[in-house]
Structure 1
Amino acid sequence: MTTLSNTLRIHTISLGCPKNRVDTEVMLGTMLSSIQAVDTPEQADVVLVNTCGFIEPAVQESVQTILETADAIADLNPKPLLVVTGCLVMRYEQELRQELPEVDLFVTIPQQKELPALLKQALHRNIPNERSRALSTSPGYGYLKISEGCDNACRFCTIPSLRGPLRSQPVDTIVNQAKHLLSQGVKELVVIAQDVTAYGKDLGMQHGLETLLERVLPLDGLEWLRLMYLYPAGLTNERLAFLASCGKPLVPYLDIPFQHSHPDILRTMGRPFMHDPLEIVSRIRTHMPDAAIRTTMIVGYPGETNAHFQHLVQTVQAIRFTHMGVFTFFPEEGTPAAAMKGQVDQTVKEDRKTRLMEIQAEISRENLCAYADTLQPVLVDEPCPEWEGLFTGRTWFQAPEVDGVTYVSGPGVEPGKLVQARIHETKTYDLVGLVE
């Protein structure tokens, strides 16, 4: 690898959700002309680990990653500077400083915009502070983060304590970010926030999401726009009618974290929506009959009985979600749910998760069979390392990183291209297509 003179070699590890990935891209963008991305910690002058601290498994993964990275660079001379940032630092900064002396620099989330100055101080090097963004996704898509924080008071969630209240980006700022991503060749914008439906409320906007989409959807070069993290309470008939009227490039894909189906559990969760998800799904299908719906569910929440779980099973079987993720409840320190009575045994939680995912696997397998021998648009992401000439991509109902993929091959297939592929094989979660 050729190293540019006076260039800071940096290796990044971004854990957790796409919102974290955007933070990493923005941090790198603050010093874009001064850095060179390298593939391994051993090649780097700086190793940056952006952590997740949302739930206990994420905390464990973050700590393990820090320890493994510290071990990998411990004997190097000169030793790279180890920098740790993200939600784990926000949640456990003092404990981390005591328990992880291997880390050279802890950076809180508010300090991320000051990273060039912090590195300049630590390394005694001049690092100009810039305003850009270093895209790290596959060339076809990019994440568009429209707000930070959350005003919802879900009793199991640590996000408000880690990220603070809702803070929406101004519309013009988001439009400029979208234009920047599209100028890099991005064809799909994935709109993300902790609650996309709440966008603009803190700015006094009554129809913030609608206003934003009216500005972003007409942008040149945009082929697909996908909405992630839509809270059920925000999916009113008025909003759904608007979304249905948008047409291309808005893909009919709705990511709605229902979390549960039983009103008793939803009430004790403190969810802003406490009705049967069937009502919301019926409303969606009235306005958008062919919409793909993704959701997440939590099993083993305090007080969840067998009857509550069976209600959830029956709801999942009735709705037949396009995609569904299932989490076992974790009593996160500092959340009201952690102190609730009726904590469920871990073995029971795991059994319920397994059962629900088995049901969803069969639903997904049956859903995908309907696409056999159809022509589908596929946005190509990257080469498949196991097979030369085979690529992974996604069709309109597959979001990056969280859903299944479409394996595609044929003439003109390359990363970043939107191609038409004939689906000739369907699997449990994936499709296989050929460009004819």
Structure 2
Amino acid sequence: MVDVILGLQWGDEGKGKIVDYFAKDYDVIARFQGGPNAGHTLYKDGKKLVLHQIPSGIFHEGKINIIGNGVVLDPITLKKECEKVAEFGIDLKKNLFISERTNIIIPTHRALDKASEQAKGKSKIGSTLKGIGPAYMDKTGRNALRVGDLLQDNFQELYEQLRQKHQVMINTYHFTEDISGDEKEFFEAVDFLKELNIVNGEYFINKLLQEGKKILAEGAQGSMLDIDFGTFPFVTSSNTISAGVCSGLGIAPQHIKEVIGITKAYCTRVGSGPFPTELENADGQKLRDVGNEYGATTGRPRRCGWIDLVALNFACMINGVTKIVMTKADVLDSFEELQVCTAYSKEGKELTEIPLRLDLDHYVPVLEKFEGWNTDITKVKDFAALPEKAKSYIAFINNYLGVNVDFISNGPERDQLIVV
């Protein structure tokens, strides 16, 4: 049995804490897509740790953590992350497994990413410059190096072939950044990676399924950044939705049971791209400051706005969401008035479906107003104790989506989660 946890917005929904909370009920936690552009924030022994590639179940003793073939893996980032995790006394050689089909990011991928983004000028998509896009391009172009290749005797030769191919492309951008230091660090990280558990991922995970193990598939980024269904072209390079679990881990669709979708109580977005409910005013700045809306990976300030139920309904539909977790509900505690987007207006006509290109026309959000609850909810332990106005806000969302909010996060700590 496989349950899925994924983001329903543009990423940054607080997946790390939620996966960490649920992990105790599962035997296996598996990342199925994305790369080091993901930043899942956890708190362990009062210390903050941001995981970029390691699954968020790593701190649970006896759990198996898998990096699936749908991920693009940066050995340098992984090595640094493993060293930080090891400081907490975690033996990664016991509970971290990496699929041999996982594609790897090499230093010229990052150089290509930077060169390409700079060349776009005002048309930048807001890449994190981690080499994710170029790595996925090599995957679909059938040029990629995979984790299993690291164990081949001719890996150095394979690496040089790919590096030279990249260099020709980099030269066309007149990009001259020296990456020799990155290469030294890369090969040190490759030696480290080879010491970890590299497995035939799809056989490994299907054997666990046959043994009756409970698996939690962990997504990165968010549904509205999906390469097919997100706000194209301002999207990531992988399938962030539940369908990506099958291709990203090598499991059949009938194994998937629950799809747990995570949404903030409002909306945020990092980088460029359409954002109908964005607030470029005092309310937007208040959401950013109270919610500490700065990227876990990049530190970039996030764009903030009211919750968008048109986009959320779309995300629930394409994912087959069965349960919703609402995070950061406490950020709304001090607002006198809240607003909820129920449709988009274009030239006087209301729409409740996501168009092909949200960025090509001016879509104005149709907003419904709610009174704020003006109460600190961070210490609330059960749903009945929430202010009535908070319950009304959630009930409206439930009714619109046809899927219920079953969990409400009211603070960053692991125990600040209300079960509805």
TM-score (norm 2): 0.29
TM-score (norm 1): 0.28
- Which structure has more relative contact order (CA 8 Å, sep 6+)? It is 2
- Larger Rg, first or second structure (1 or 2): 1
